[in-house]
């Protein structure tokens, strides 16, 4: 049995094609999880809408508390870390992380950056060995296979690998770097482009992305089955 953590990041609460000013990234993440559970109803999910309910931004107290060894933390530090602990524990529990995220001004929405700052945590998702300055970091989420599925939406076109706007895409590269730092390196990317252009350009991109989501669900589920069969009962 697998566990999915689904994050929706768009500031738009509805679904594209259904709601006025609906979100394309939410449509993709909903499609992925729905398709997944239709084939594997035994699997479990955790849903967090950080677009509508963003995590707190990092501040001095969070930094001080997170870098203080747990045994030495004062009561206020435990309270300060409560949200971070919950978000990090949700990520740690996940076998598959599904992120529906739009590109805002060439990068990720502030809510997703806040989530990253909350879950990249010394002692929880990464170990830091200050006695080894040449290689101080150990990713703690490399303890078992985990997948991340990044389902993005962009107003323009050509932001993907090899595209004419690739150098201006600071969404997926930054997110992949943060996930890899924690040990999640099996990354899958699907994007819708052309939202600001509309018409056939957008319609074609949506159709291609939907088909890619369906194919990725089948691919990942097929890859899981041999591993599950090999696990002793």
- Binding site for FMN: which residues? 10, 23-25, 103-106
Distance CA 116, CA 111 (A): 9
Distance CA 113, CA 177 (A): 12
Backbone angles phi, psi at 150, to 5 degrees: -100, 115
**Tokens, residue 116:** 């990253």
**Tokens, residue 55:** 């995590």
Backbone angles phi, psi at 96, to 5 degrees: -135, 125
Distance CA 180, CA 137 (A): 11
* Binding site listing: 10, 23-25, 103-106
C-alpha pair distances (Å), 131 with each of 64, 71, 137, 142, 166: 20, 20, 11, 22, 38
């Amino acid at each position: 049995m697998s566990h999915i953590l689904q994050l929706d990041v768009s500031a738009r609460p509805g679904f594209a094609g259904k709601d006025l000013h609906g979100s394309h990234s939410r449509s993709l993440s909903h499609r992925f999880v729905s398709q997944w559970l239709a084939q594997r109803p035994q699997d479990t999910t955790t849903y967090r809408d950080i677009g509508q309910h963003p995590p707190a931004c990092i501040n001095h107290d969070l930094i001080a508390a997170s870098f203080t060894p747990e045994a030495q933390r004062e009561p206020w530090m435990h309270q300060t870390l409560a949200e971070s602990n919950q978000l990090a524990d949700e990520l740690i529990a996940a076998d598959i992380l599904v992120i529906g995220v739009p590109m805002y001004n060439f990068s990720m929405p502030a809510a997703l950056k806040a989530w990253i700052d909350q879950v990249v945590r010394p002692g929880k998702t990464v170990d830091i060995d200050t006695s080894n300055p040449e290689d101080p970091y150990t990713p703690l989420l490399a303890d078992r296979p985990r997948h991340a599925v990044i389902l993005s939406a962009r107003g323009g076109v050509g932001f993907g690998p090899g595209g004419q706007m690739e150098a201006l895409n600071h969404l997926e590269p930054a997110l992949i770097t943060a996930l890899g730092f924690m040990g999640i390196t099996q990354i899958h990317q699907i994007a819708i482009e052309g939202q600001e252009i509309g018409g056939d350009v957008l319609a074609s991109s949506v159709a291609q992305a939907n088909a890619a989501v369906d194919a990725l669900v089948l691919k990942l589920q097929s890859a899981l089955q041999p591993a599950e069969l090999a696990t002793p009962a």
